[in-house]
Amino acid sequence: MRIFHVVVPEVRTVELGRKIVLITGASSGIGAAAAREFARAGATVALVARSKDRLDELAAEIGPNAHAFPADLADPDAVLGMAARVRAELGVPDVIVNNAGAGRWLFADESTPHDFRDMAAVPYLAAGYVTTAFAADMVRRGSGRIVVVNSPVSRATWPGAFGYAAARWGLRGIVAALRVDLRGTGVGVTEIVPGKVSSDYFANNPGSEERIPSISAIIPTVTPEQVARALVASVRRDRSRTALPFMMRVTMAQAWIAPSLTHRLMSLTGAKRP
Ligand SMILES: NC(=O)c1ccc[n+]([C@@H]2O[C@H](COP(=O)([O-])OP(=O)(O)OC[C@H]3O[C@@H](n4cnc5c(N)ncnc54)[C@H](OP(=O)(O)O)[C@@H]3O)[C@@H](O)[C@H]2O)c1
């Protein structure tokens, strides 16, 4: 006799075989790991960053489904040129992963206007340039997904990283604006927020690691490969937001429920003005 009838909800998964996935910041860290993971899932990957040699090397490692499109994403004309090449050689991407990012961590009063411009350029403006370069094509086609890789600072702002933090709040704004703009078009939006990642980010941006608030030690560091797997799973499942590891989700929930307390903790345990 059957007493319980368990209903397992059907989970929709997006097939990635033959999809075109454009990944910015693919020459290193999270972007390179994501390119390998998407390619493993059968996607054709368009690799974008400035370092042509590193992109060519990665494309050769991945095989015929990977194509390098070197470009400086701080320059809107270079982004348009890259987009035209991608369209001509591969077609309109099905998935765009806005991941390229850099930025020195400086207090507002340590920064110059040029520092601020550089920190806004990549990732914030670059994500806007790449998204707008393809958005009309994606909406016309009626399908696709735009992914934004964001930082914990977009939820729990810490001191000593003025331009960096402002640019990540800007990315959060891009996500929010895209969600309403693209509603009903068939083009989805995903934000992924990893905690600290064991990539070369801190070697590439000297002076940053020392300014991570000490309270952040409660969030275990994740690898670029873990982020890449979470990213591919989010795209497959049409997820609108993913944070990892688990303690990062707890931190985001805390920042949402108690923003003042969160920012107070960041101030107390964060960098002090030199
Ligand atoms: N590492 C962390 O702890 C962490 C945590 C949360 C979020 N994130 C975010 O994740 C993203 C990727 O970081 P990562 O850890 O993988 O760092 P990474 O290893 O330093 O990679 C950064 C990537 O961005 C590219 N890039 C930088 N400036 C560019 C430009 N002007 N034009 C084109 N590409 C540019 C770099 O390539 P080229 O130098 O070849 O141009 C590189 O491929 C960043 O947005 C970062 O803020 C990182």
**Cα 104 from chain centroid (whole Å):** 18
CA of 29 to the centre of ligand 1 (A): 7
- Whole-number Å distance, alpha carbon 70 to ligand 1 midpoint, is 14
> In what order do the strands lie in the sheet containing 241-244?
66-68, 44-48, 20-24, 95-98, 144-149, 187-194, 241-244
pTM, whole model, 2 decimals? 0.95
Query: What does the pLDDT read at residue 1?
Result: 52
> Measuring from each residue's beta carbon to the nearest atom of ligand 1, which residues come in under 6 Å?
24-31, 49-51, 54, 72-74, 99-102, 122-123, 149, 151, 194, 196-197, 199-201, 204, 224
The pLDDT, as a whole number, for residue 15 is 86
All domains in the chain, ordered by first residue: 20-269 (3.40.50.720)
The answer to whether 145 and 187 are in contact (CB under 8 A) is yes
- The pLDDT, as a whole number, for residue 84 is 98
The pLDDT of residue 14: 79
Question: Could you give the CA distance from residue 107 to residue 177 in angstroms, rounded to a whole number?
Answer: 28
* pLDDT < 50 regions, the chain: none
Q: Which of 177, 215, 221 is nearest to 201 (CA)?
A: 221
Question: 32-82: per-residue pLDDT in tens?
Answer: 999 999 999 999 999 999 999 999 999 999 999 999 999 999 999 999 999
The pLDDT of residue 273 is: 86
- 164 as an active site residue: the answer is yes
Phi, then psi, of 264 in degrees rounded to 5: -65, -45
Q: How far is the centre of ligand 1, averaged over its atoms, from the C-alpha of 6 (Å)?
A: 44
